[in-house]
């Protein structure tokens, strides 16, 4: 079973929309998570770290559901510049990070 599973998308949304992605994870011992964003033909960059039940940073909100083993990322008031691939990466207490394929978001005018 894969460590994380994400819908690869693409999610096509209009500017100003609210969009949410889910990421399910298999290791119940995962303590924290990273959300990275990767723009087309660029390197991944950290968007947000999630250490407890969730985190909020401006238009971005991450929520962690440990009972169901998923983490979600909500983006409000989508901008064209939010178009990217979003990678959910679990932090398994000292083990190396594993990067999956992510979810592709395309925000249209």
Q: Which stretch binds another protein (CB under 8 A): 17-25, 34-42, 61-69, 75-83?
A: 34-42
E-strand stretches of the chain? 4-6, 11-14, 19-25, 32-38, 44-50, 54-57, 60-65, 70-75, 84-91, 103-108
- Of 1, 29, 41, 68, which lies in the binding site for another protein, with binding defined by CB under 8 A? 41
Q: 3-state DSSP call for residue 82?
A: helix
- Of 18, 26, 39, 45, which lies in the binding site for another protein, with binding defined by CB under 8 A? 45
Strand partners of residue 73: 21, 62
- Of 18, 26, 97, 108, which lies in the binding site for another protein, with binding defined by CB under 8 A? 97
Q: Which stretch binds another protein (CB under 8 A): 16-24, 57-65, 66-74, 93-101?
A: 93-101
Query: What is the CA angle 10-16-20, rounded to 5?
Result: 45
Q: Which stretch binds another protein (CB under 8 A): 16-24, 52-60, 73-81, 90-98?
A: 90-98
């Amino acid at each position: 079973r894969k460590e994380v599973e994400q819908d690869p998308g693409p999610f096509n949304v209009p500017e100003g929309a609210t969009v949410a992605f889910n990421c399910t994870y298999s290791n119940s011992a995962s303590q924290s998570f990273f959300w990275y964003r990767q723009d087309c033909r660029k390197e991944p960059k950290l968007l947000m770290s999630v250490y407890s039940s969730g985190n909020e940073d401006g238009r971005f909100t991450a929520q962690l559901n440990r009972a169901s083993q998923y983490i979600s990322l909500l983006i409000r008031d989508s901008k064209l510049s939010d178009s990217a691939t979003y990678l959910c990466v679990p932090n398994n207490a000292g083990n190396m990070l594993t990067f999956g394929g992510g979810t592709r978001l395309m925000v249209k005018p």
